[in-house]
Amino acid sequence: MPAERLSCAPLRAGHLRGVTAAALLLVAALAPTLPGASSTVEWCYQDSSCNDTVWATTPFGYCNGTRQSPVNIVTANVQPNASLTGFTFSGFSNHSIMSKISNNGHTVQMDLQAGSISVVGGGLPATYKALQFHLHWGNGSKAPGSEHTVDSKRYPMELHLVTIKTIYNNLSEALNDPEGLAAFGFFIEGENTTNLPASWAMLTSYLPNISYEGNTVNFSSSGLSMDDLLPGVNRTRYYRYLGSLTTPLCNEVVTWTVFQDPVNVSNNLIDLFSSSLYFTNVHNVTEKITDVYRNVQKLNNRVITTPGNPNKSASSRSVATPALLCFVLLVFLLLLQ
Ligand SMILES: *[C@@H]1O[C@H](CO)[C@@H](O)[C@H](O)[C@H]1NC(C)=O
Ligand SMILES: *[C@@H]1O[C@H](CO)[C@@H](O)[C@H](O)[C@H]1NC(C)=O
Ligand SMILES: *[C@@H]1O[C@H](CO)[C@@H](O)[C@H](O)[C@H]1NC(C)=O
Ligand SMILES: *[C@@H]1O[C@H](CO)[C@@H](O)[C@H](O)[C@H]1NC(C)=O
Ligand SMILES: *[C@@H]1O[C@H](CO)[C@@H](O)[C@H](O)[C@H]1NC(C)=O
Ligand SMILES: *[C@@H]1O[C@H](CO)[C@@H](O)[C@H](O)[C@H]1NC(C)=O
Ligand SMILES: *[C@@H]1O[C@H](CO)[C@@H](O)[C@H](O)[C@H]1NC(C)=O
Ligand SMILES: *[C@@H]1O[C@H](CO)[C@@H](O)[C@H](O)[C@H]1NC(C)=O
Ligand SMILES: *[C@@H]1O[C@H](CO)[C@@H](O)[C@H](O)[C@H]1NC(C)=O
Ligand SMILES: *[C@@H]1O[C@H](CO)[C@@H](O)[C@H](O)[C@H]1NC(C)=O
Ligand SMILES: *[C@@H]1O[C@H](CO)[C@@H](O)[C@H](O)[C@H]1NC(C)=O
Ligand SMILES: *[C@@H]1O[C@H](CO)[C@@H](O)[C@H](O)[C@H]1NC(C)=O
Ligand SMILES: [Zn+2]
C-alpha cells in the first residue's frame, strides 16, 4: 500500500542519516589533537588582544581542544543516564567554611577552608573536595553573563564551585588527571525584588571591601553556608558532560555538573558585581569588571546527559513511537477508505 511507504519511509531515511552522522563524528573523534604548550600569558575578557577569541592559540594552553567549556545545553538532545545517581554534599550546611573573598581582576573568588566541604555520588568517579567558588556575570541584570546557556538562554550570572579529587593537595596536582576536577555550575536568575535572598545580600556586602584588583579580605567566620547561597535548587536535576576550565589554560580535566534550577537573586544585588568592582586593563587603565564569561564552545562528539532511565526513553523514542505512528496512520487510512 502506497500509504504505508509514504508514512514510514521518511522514518527509515532519518535513521540512516543518523548512522552516517555518527560515523562521521567517530572519524572526527579519531583525528589527532595536539595540546598547546603551557605557559603563563596574560588573558582577559575585554580587549581583542587577549579576549576569548585569541585563547585558542598556543600561548593559552589547551583552549583549542575538542572538549572545551562552556557549552550551550540543547535540552532536546540531552540523554538520560541511569548511572547519574544523587549526590552526597558534605559540609554544605556548615557556616564556618568560607575563608576569604578576593577580587583577582577577572572575578570575585571565595576561598573555602581546606577540606571543609566535599561531594560524592552523581556518577562522579571519586570523592571531590571544594577549593573555592567564583562567579561569572555580564553587565548588570539586563546584560546577562552566565557561561553555560540552556537552549541559548543566558542567565544573568553563574556560580562555579570548583572541586578536586581528595587525593590531591592542590589544583596543580589535579590538573594532571583527566578526572582531576569536578565543577558545579549554578545559574543565577534575576528577580524584581530588593536585597533577596539575605545570603546574597551578605555576600555582596563584602564587595566594597574588594573594589580593586588584588584586594582580599577575610570572610566572617559566622558567615554563610553553601546551602544558604543555593536556595531553590533541586540538586537531583542536573546536566553532566566532560569539559574544561573556562579560563586559560583551559585544561580538559573537568567533569561538569550544571544544575537545572537557577537561584533567584534580586536584580539590585546582581547589578552590584558590574558596578562596584574594578580591574586594571591591558592599557593600564582601571575600569569596571564586566562581561566576565567565555563564549560557548563546540560540543564536538560529546553528549550531555542527565539522570534518568535510558532504556525507557530509548524504546519509546526510536522503536515504540515510529511503530505506533505507522499503526495509527494505517488504521486512519483504512477508516478513510
Ligand atoms: C574580542 O575581540 C574580538 C576581536 O578579536 C572582538 O570582535 C570582540 O568584540 C571582543 N570581545 C570583547 C568582549 O571585547
Ligand atoms: C586549532 O587547531 C586546529 C586543528 O588542530 C587548527 O586547524 C586551527 O588552526 C587551530 N586554531 C588556532 C586559532 O590556533
Ligand atoms: C565546619 O567547618 C569548619 C572548617 O572546616 C570545621 O572546623 C568545623 O568542624 C565544621 N563544623 C562541623 C559541625 O562539621
Ligand atoms: C553514564 O554515567 C556514567 C557515570 O558517570 C559514565 O561512566 C557512563 O559513561 C555514562 N554513560 C553514557 C552513555 O554517557
Ligand atoms: C554597562 O552598562 C552601563 C549602564 O548600565 C553602561 O554605561 C556601560 O557602558 C556598560 N559597559 C559595557 C562594557 O558595556
Ligand atoms: C602542590 O602540592 C605539591 C605537593 O604537596 C607541591 O609540591 C606543589 O608545590 C604544590 N603546588 C602549588 C602550586 O602549591
Ligand atoms: C519591577 O517592579 C516595579 C515596581 O515594584 C515595576 O514598576 C516594574 O514594572 C517591575 N519590572 C518587571 C520587569 O517586572
Ligand atoms: C569592610 O569595609 C568596611 C567599611 O570600610 C569596614 O568597616 C569593614 O571592617 C571591612 N570588612 C572587612 C572584613 O575588612
Ligand atoms: C585573616 O585570616 C588569617 C588566617 O585565619 C589570619 O592570620 C589573619 O590575621 C586574618 N586577617 C585579618 C585582617 O583579620
Ligand atoms: C524563582 O523564580 C521563578 C520565576 O518567578 C519561580 O517560578 C520560582 O518558583 C522561584 N524559585 C524560588 C525558589 O522561589
Ligand atoms: C527534586 O526533583 C526530583 C526529580 O525531578 C523530584 O522527584 C523531587 O520531588 C524534587 N524534590 C523537591 C524537594 O522538589
Ligand atoms: C600603570 O599605572 C601606574 C599608576 O598610574 C604606574 O605607576 C605604572 O608604572 C603603570 N604601569 C605600566 C606598565 O604602565
Ligand atoms: Zn568559572
Residue-wise pLDDT for 103-155, tens only, equals 999 999 999 999 999 999 999 999 999 999 999 999 999 999 999 999 999 99
Distance of CA 130 from the midpoint of ligand 13 (Å):
14
Q: Does residue 223 fall inside a structural domain?
A: yes
CB 277 within 8 A of CB 103: yes
Told to judge if 15 belongs to the known catalytic residues of this protein, a careful annotator would answer no
Maximum Cα–Cα distance across the chain: 80
Catalytic one of 106, 134, 136, 283: 106
**Amino acid in position 118:** S
Distance of CA 174 from the midpoint of ligand 6 (Å):
10
Write the CATH number for 48.
3.10.200.10
Domain hosting residue 74, numbered range: 11-310
| pTM of the shown model | 0.85
Q: Whose CA is nearest to atom 5 of ligand 6?
A: 169
Q: Does residue 234 fall inside a structural domain?
A: yes
| Cα three-residue angle 173-174-178, rounded to 5 degrees | 130
Q: Does residue 232 fall inside a structural domain?
A: yes
Atom of ligand 8 nearest to the CA of 219: 13
Q: Which phi and psi (to 5°) does residue 199 adopt?
A: -60, -40
Instruction: Give the model's pLDDT for residue 332.
Output: 61
Per residue in 166-176, pLDDT (tens digit) is 999 999 999 99
Q: Does residue 132 fall inside a structural domain?
A: yes
For residue 60, give the DSSP letter.
B
Q: Does residue 100 fall inside a structural domain?
A: yes
| Contacts for 41 with CB less than 8 Å, ≥ 6 apart | 59, 60, 248
Ligand 11 pocket check: which of 87, 227, 234, 259 to mutate, most ligand atoms within 8 Å of Cβ?
234
| Cα three-residue angle 18-24-26, rounded to 5 degrees | 105
Ligand lying closest to the C-alpha of residue 53: 1
**Amino acid in position 305:** T
Task: Looking at 112-213, list the stretches that DSSP marks H as alpha helix, in order from N- to C-terminal side.
Answer: 171-174, 198-204
Q: State the cell numbers at 250.
A: 583551559
Residue 112's DSSP bridge partners are 98
Q: State the cell numbers at 77.
A: 538532545
Q: Does residue 109 fall inside a structural domain?
A: yes
* DSSP E strand stretches across the chain: 72-73, 79-81, 87-90, 98-103, 108-112, 118-121, 128-137, 149-150, 153-154, 157-165, 181-191, 216-218, 238-243, 254-259, 263-266, 278-280, 286-288, 305-307
Residues written for the chain: 337
| Contacts for 74 with CB less than 8 Å, ≥ 6 apart | 151, 304
Atom of ligand 8 nearest to the CA of 218: 13
Q: What is the pLDDT along the chain (337 residues), one digit of tens a residue?
A: 333 333 333 333 333 333 333 332 222 232 222 233 334 568 999 999 999 999 998 777 999 999 999 999 999 999 999 999 999 999 999 999 999 999 999 999 999 999 999 999 999 999 999 999 999 999 999 999 999 999 999 999 999 999 999 999 999 999 999 999 999 999 999 999 999 999 999 999 999 999 999 999 999 867 899 999 999 999 999 999 999 999 999 999 999 999 999 999 999 999 999 999 999 999 999 999 999 999 999 999 999 999 999 876 554 455 455 555 556 666 666 666 5
Q: Whose CA is nearest to atom 4 of ligand 6?
A: 169
Cis previous bond, 80, omega within 30: no
Q: Does residue 182 fall inside a structural domain?
A: yes
| Pairing label, strands 149-150, 72-73 | parallel
Q: State the cell numbers at 223.
A: 558567615
Per residue in 195-222, pLDDT (tens digit) is 999 999 999 999 999 999 999 999 986 7
For residue 181, give the DSSP letter.
E
Distance of CA 201 from the midpoint of ligand 9 (Å):
23
| Pairing label, strands 286-288, 278-280 | antiparallel
Ligand lying closest to the C-alpha of residue 192: 7
CB 169 within 8 A of CB 177: no
Q: Does residue 284 fall inside a structural domain?
A: yes
Which class for 206: exposed (0-12), middle (13-18), buried (19 or more C-beta within 10 A)? buried
- For residues 32-60, one letter each, b for 16 or more C-beta atoms within 10 angstroms of the residue's C-beta and e for the rest, the string is eeeebebeeeebbbbeeebbbebbeeebb
Q: Whose CA is nearest to atom 12 of ligand 1?
A: 46
* Number of independent structural domains in the chain: 1
